[in-house]
Amino acid sequence: MKPQDIEIIQSVLEAIKEPIKVTLVYDKAKELFEKGEITNMFDYGGNTPHQSVSSLIYTALNKGEELPFLKAQEKPVLIALKDAAKEPVLNMEKISVPSAKIAHNKIAHERDLHPFLTYMAT
């Protein structure tokens, strides 16, 4: 990832002060650039520059590059500044799907593990 792109993403995150979806980074950068809140803009042409930017971010996150931002949430993927991730609002645990309560001394049947599927099947 180019240092200029990293600086743009960092300035967008600093300007909005909250996590943002990777797919919205380009649009937010464009909006902030037009307002004059950030000084640089991505230089990707073509029909889908927002997809180019989001693919760069995904690739950099997956490769484990040293970046000033990190993945704050998995699905949908949100990124936030590393400094902002120390705030208690961003350090939320993943919201998990409520699972069926199974007693430890009881034999677990598959229908107990998948209540929604058994509901739909009946």
Is residue 107 included in any domain, yes or no? no
- Residue 68's CB is within 10 A of a number of other CB atoms, namely 13
Average pLDDT of the residues in 95-102: 48
The pLDDT value recorded for residue 101 is 52
The number of distinct structural domains making up the chain is 1
pLDDT in tens, 2-60: 999 999 999 999 999 999 999 999 999 999 999 999 999 999 888 999 999 999 999 99
Cβ partners under 8 Å of residue 30, min gap 6: 41
pLDDT in tens, 111-120: 666 776 666 6
Range name among 11-15, 59-63, 73-77, 109-113 with the lowest pLDDT average? 109-113
Domain residues for 19?
Answer: 3-86
